[in-house]
Structure 1
């Protein structure tokens, strides 16, 4: 039911998406990656990040850890956008690396595929600066016992303007 032109379900969903974005930004691992998460809609997440030479292996391209981290995060947040009470955990993730990533901007796009109760499946892909797909992955995520509301960054008091 709308009140004052605002759909309370949509407003709550938007608040959940902004809280997940804040949670991502506060994660200690992200101090190593110049990246930003956006969740524009249920079941979809996008991460903008930059590869630089700190991410390289000895062969002069991004190490697989960068691929995994961004694919897993994009798929994870796409799935967790559907869950408002619990933090999900990755239980499995399969990768296909198809192109080396060099210095420059990259986008990870994650999409929820299936699952609505305990186990969720989502996939993700990496798009390089030339618009080419560099990798893709599919993950399985399970509800944990960790309440989202108790995590630093997710609580409204931890967010700017909260």
Structure 2
């Protein structure tokens, strides 16, 4: 692909390979050693992350701390957007979130989807779903293409 091309412009060309590489990149990120989670990218512009949260993530009042909500929402929206960009790592430039329900221990699914942008700036949103199927939080982020080649990052290449 030419510089600044996205998978939104060429959804068949190497998309599955790119999605699996992003999944490996996610799994190898040091921060993700702190969270029991797994990224799935089923198609361009969509990401799903399965998390398991427990008391390690609680604040003093006995529910999951907001930093965990942010991480789950940001990751899902980020990977939905980066699934469209095959040459560069993107960066979060802004993120807004809305808490709708306290979260206790258990499985949580973060669902991210690309909303707009194809070249330099991308908008994606995400929502958190608890084990009862209720939405517990929602967020929207703005992401920007960086100068960091994806291929230079540990885990992105298949042989890492």
Tell me the TM-score normalized by structure 1: 0.91
Unaligned runs of 5+ in 1: 1-7
Q: Deviations over 1:109-158 (max 9, x none)?
A: 00000000000000000000110000000000000000000000001211
Which residue does 1:75 correspond to in 2? 77
Q: Cα RMSD over matched residues?
A: 1.2
Q: Deviations over 1:12-66 (max 9, x none)?
A: 1000000000000000000110000000000000000011000000000000011
Correspondent of 2:152 among 150, 153, 157: 150
Q: How many residues align?
A: 151
1:64 aligns with 2:66: yes
Correspondent of 1:45 among 25, 43, 47: 47
Q: Tell me, in whole angstroms, the C-alpha distance in 2 between the residues paired with 1:106 and 1:67.
A: 10
Which residue does 1:131 correspond to in 2? 133
Answer whether contact 2:122 2:144 (CA < 8 A) is retained.
yes
Which residue does 1:98 correspond to in 2? 100
User: Would you tell me which structure has more helix in proportion to its own residues?
Assistant: 1
Q: Tell me, in whole angstroms, the C-alpha distance in 2 between the residues paired with 1:10 and 1:153.
A: 22
Q: Deviations over 1:71-98 (max 9, x none)?
A: 0000000000000000000000000001
Give the SS at the match of 1:123: strand
Unaligned runs of 5+ in 2: 1-9
Q: Tell me, in whole angstroms, the C-alpha distance in 1 between the residues paired with 2:11 and 2:105.
A: 41
Cα 1:9–1:64 shift into 2, 3 Å: closer
Tell me the TM-score normalized by structure 2: 0.92
